[in-house]
Structures are given as structure tokens and as C-alpha cells.
Amino acid sequence: MLASSRCLRWTLLGLPLFLIAFVAYETVSTSTPSPTPTATPVPFPEPILADLNDSPRKFFLAFPQEEQQRLVQALGQARLYEVLDGAEPTEVEDTAMEQCISQETFARVLTGSFINLVYSSGRLVNPL
């Protein structure tokens, strides 16, 4: 009887230690940690500061060469200069011009417009 009570006591004392060790072994991750993502800087496109109303040809020349060529092909050189000089484009011409301008160039025009707007309000000094 003495041996069985001693065995029971060791079993009762050892069982919690066994469970703790078993649970600890199961929760330890053996997988390799994934690398921490790092931010990749995105280059900010240079804004087009030329104003379409003040200097339309300078505005047009600020576009990438490829887009300038597409606009000339879409409207023709003479008609493009008429539009740049203030002639109202037709809906068809307007749609054609929109298709010739990339989203990046459009973003550059918007950014330049915002900079010009803030600069003309007298609140900031032109940073460029």
C-alpha cells in the first residue's frame, strides 16, 4: 500500500508539470518569423506649374514628348494651337485630348494647379 500511495503522490505532483511542459511545447512556434515590411519611397512627379490660361504653349510643352505627339496626331497641329490659344474644343476633340493625357500627367497638372492656387493666395512662398 505504501508503494501505491507514493506512486499516486508522484503522479499527482508530476501530472501538472507534465501538462505545463506539454502545453509550452505545443505553443512554441517553430516557423521562421516573416520579415518586417519596409516602406518603399515613391518618387513624387514634378508638378506642371505652367498655367493653361496664362501661357498655354508653355503648359503644352511641359507634357511628355509622347503625349505632345499624341495630341498633335489627335487634333492636328493647327487645331491644337487654336485650342491652346483659347478656341473652344468640340466634345469629340475634348474626349480625344483626354485619351492622349496619362494619369501621371493629369496628376502633375493638378499638383501644379494647387501649388499655383496656394502661391497666388499669398499665404505661401513658392517652394519651387
Q: What is the DSSP letter of 29?
A: -
User: Euclidean distance between the first and final Cα of the chain, in Å?
Assistant: 95
Residue 48 lies in a domain: no
The CA distance from 86 to 89, in Å, is 9
Structural domain including 18 reads: 1-30
> pLDDT of 10-60, one tens digit each?
555 555 655 565 555 555 556 677 778 787 777 777 899 888 888 888 999
What confidence tens digit (pLDDT) does each residue in 60-79 have? 999 999 999 999 999 999 99
Q: What's the one-letter identity of residue 125?
A: V
Asked if residue 69 and residue 108 are part of one domain, the reply reads: yes
| pTM exceeds cut of 0.85 | no
Number of domains in the chain: 2
Q: Domain check: are 25 and 60 in the same one? A: no
